[in-house]
Amino acid sequence: MGRTLMTIGALLLVVGGAVALIERFLPGLGRLPGDIVVRRGNFTFYFPVATSLLLSLGLTLLFWLFQRLGR
């Protein structure tokens, strides 16, 4: 159980670092046209539709490339 928690923690650390780097080099990511933001008084709802689609496309192409190079 301890090893699993340490692995998950390390993975979250790597993902957090990657997100911080991506935000630094691509500052518009997360505020694309198509991302839904609703602000009502003391409440904010944010749903990054366009960002999610863009990241999904990029990861799909990356994994496809890795699969092609692995043959």
User: How does residue 42 score in pLDDT terms, banded at 50, 70 and 90?
Assistant: very high
Number of domains in the chain: 2
Same domain, 44 and 71: yes
Per-residue pLDDT at 71 exceeds 80: no
Are 44 and 25 part of one and the same domain?
no
First to last CA, the chain: 36
Cα 43–Cα 46–Cα 44 angle in degrees, nearest 5: 10
**Segment 1-35, tens digit of pLDDT:** 999 999 999 999 998 898 888 888 888 777 889 99
Average pLDDT, the chain: 90
- In this structure, are 37 and 61 located in the same domain? yes
Q: Nearest 5°: phi and psi at 33?
A: -60, 130
- Residue numbers of the domain that contains 24: 1-30
Check: CB of residue 48 under 8 Å from CB of residue 30: yes
| pLDDT at residue 37, rounded to an integer | 93
Task: Examine the domain organization and report whether 16 and 40 are in the same domain.
Answer: no
Q: What is the pTM of this model?
A: 0.62
